[in-house]
Structure 1
């Protein structure tokens, strides 16, 4: 028997229009519609005779912003949860989101999902056709909601999970941004001084007729090297970044070793450890509470941990749980999880409230990440000044050392 082909979602465009209303007054504006003819018909019903209409073209900035981001999925999840709780039917909820969103990419995505569901396809199956935006964990949670008949409750859990996950990701990015900025500013300032400032001093020193201090000679030597081979230096730098990014994308071993390395970097390693712990607890709590078996929930938590060290540890826990070991005992054997976490998990297992205890663990570590990021920000503000002071001050001292010895040269 032939399977009915799902109708494709209609494309929604933005049109600029101008016309005359019933009072003869000129009016204009922008409106979204599937076609110019449909827009004209709609405006005619409102008493406006359109005299000029044109499809709005996207600028390069519009195109860059017209992509579906993880935070967009979190917002969509919250909108679906709210509408389902209010009693709005699923298909109508999806269609409303598709028509009202400002981003064309989201309108197309949700329009396609709505069309699939309208033909009788389960929502989880419709979402699986868009793995770039809805991962396996998301689809499994939706499927659990469909099977339990509590889709609105599950979407509320999904919305909370996505909102917390994106907030945590934003905090960790903020923590990593400051050290990167310190290094970048130091490199830029040093490069400017070496290429443009120090050569001016070198011309002055050439007339001294005396041997320059070793530190000054060293700095001038670096300056000459930069002036002669700056294209090689920068070329090698950007080539190294390109090769690393390529290796990181194509090699699992490189990604795993990078994950191990970043957890050893002072200052930020604490934030990364706490962030991985929060992701583990939040994912496991959400999936387990949704009725997904613990074995499958651990598999999802491993994928969401975001780091090879924790992913391996969680998969080891999963294997031990399959063999019949209690989860808190298996967690102790990994040597990755703090005693406080294993103790709380033990209490959760014994009381039968594992998902509730995991939620508390996630809340604790999310707060600790927030506090650690604020502390890092406060600490790095003076650190930036110190680093720049040492770099710039060192170069200035190197240039003024010959002037300090000028008296002996003249004498």
Structure 2
């Protein structure tokens, strides 16, 4: 009885680190990917390198010590690959050159894996799809459209521009949200240190006076005693609360939606997040629609890029309406989350056949709005945060020295 042939297993590439000398006898070192040690040595000989020491790198357990891949590195890779292809360098060689210039081993490993896929005869988009954590569906779809139309370099350039603009808007939002939170966190840490270490020293001094303390001083001393007794509970709450909130946000869609909806209602910050979501939606839809992706599929990508679940849900709702024949401007209007200016611009774009251009203008307008709003908020927050910290720390110091001032006035 004939046995069924076993399915061929995918060959596993390994990373090898090496040291050696080049054709001029100069010491060189680096890393490369190969199926085994002999093939790694053969690759080095082809490059004119005499290997003196070569060994297979073993990955750290649980990914410890592995440098995180940033969106900026993905954008830089896209830009470099576009430049190499436009210069006429073959795709496999372009991927090799880009990988050799990377400093992050994790990013280099991914690019070399993609290079191996392309070298095996697969499309670049297929290699990218095997790393969805770093190359999302929109990225892969646009690259595939560029491959099929024979304009891969132009499409990669368009993707790079898109990612640069969306990354810049994300950085603006992080700056707007993280700055006050970071400063206030430092203020809380300083207050805890003062209450735990400084106030008890003053308390022992005041006890030796046997005098009645001002009310503000007594309140601070009582607060210090509470912190000394329950410091472990306070620190536990301060540490665990953000962790639980973040985990709930990631695991519960309903909780995340309510948080995003609440964020939109916050003064100042809500307007920044709202404008950012509209800008990212418009930019993504413009880029994908210009690249030939069907509108319904483009809407799905734009919903994921909006960055706020309220807007994501609204875009999906609009997409469903479009799929049954409704115009985009009407579909957006029925969601009640897009301003009249957006729907009017979209309407003009649909009527004139220049929807991508109008969406690009909407994105540019709201990106500038976000820039102005973030700078205005930062300028406004700096004196407010300094004043709050001054009142917190200065009030505590004043409460400690007030009894000493009163004692001095008696003599």
> Normalising by structure 2, what TM-score?
0.86
1:15 aligns with 2:14: no
CA distance in 1, matches of 2:138, 2:5: 31
CA distance in 2, matches of 1:201, 1:89: 74
Per-residue CA deviations over 1:31-62 (Å, capped at 9, x if unaligned) read 3445674587468x47xx77x546698999x9
Within a 5 Å distance, the mapping from 1:75-90 to structure 2 comes to: 75-90=76-91
- Deviation, 1:386, is 0.7
Q: Which moved more, 1:88-97 or 1:30-39?
A: 30-39
The equivalent of 1:28 in structure 2 is: 27
Per-residue CA deviations over 1:78-118 (Å, capped at 9, x if unaligned) read 12222222233333322332344333222321222222223
The equivalent of 1:278 in structure 2 is: 279
Q: 1:284 to 1:33 in 2, by over 3 A?
A: closer
CA distance in 2, matches of 1:10, 1:103: 18
Q: Is the 2:203–2:221 Cα contact (8 Å) retained in structure 1?
A: yes
Taking only aligned residues, the RMSD between alpha carbons, in angstroms, comes to 3.1
Q: 1:64 to 1:353 in 2, by over 3 A?
A: farther
The equivalent of 2:130 in structure 1 is: 129
Q: Is the 1:286–1:355 Cα contact (8 Å) retained in structure 2?
A: yes
Unpaired stretches in structure 1, ≥5 consecutive residues: none
The equivalent of 2:74 in structure 1 is: 73
CA distance in 2, matches of 1:154, 1:161: 10
Within a 5 Å distance, the mapping from 1:368-383 to structure 2 comes to: 368-383=369-384
The equivalent of 1:195 in structure 2 is: 196
The equivalent of 2:212 in structure 1 is: 211
Unpaired stretches in structure 2, ≥5 consecutive residues: none
CA distance in 2, matches of 1:388, 1:184: 10
Q: Which moved more, 1:287-296 or 1:232-241?
A: 232-241
1:142 aligns with 2:148: no
Q: Is the 1:11–1:108 Cα contact (8 Å) retained in structure 2?
A: no
- Deviation, 1:232, is 1.6
> Normalising by structure 1, what TM-score?
0.86
The equivalent of 1:230 in structure 2 is: 231
- Deviation, 1:10, is 4.5
CA distance in 2, matches of 1:147, 1:6: 29
Within a 5 Å distance, the mapping from 1:282-301 to structure 2 comes to: 282-301=283-302
Within a 5 Å distance, the mapping from 1:6-405 to structure 2 comes to: 8=11, 10-17=13-20, 28-33=27-32, 37-38=41-42, 41=45, 45=48, 53=53, 64=65, 66-405=67-406
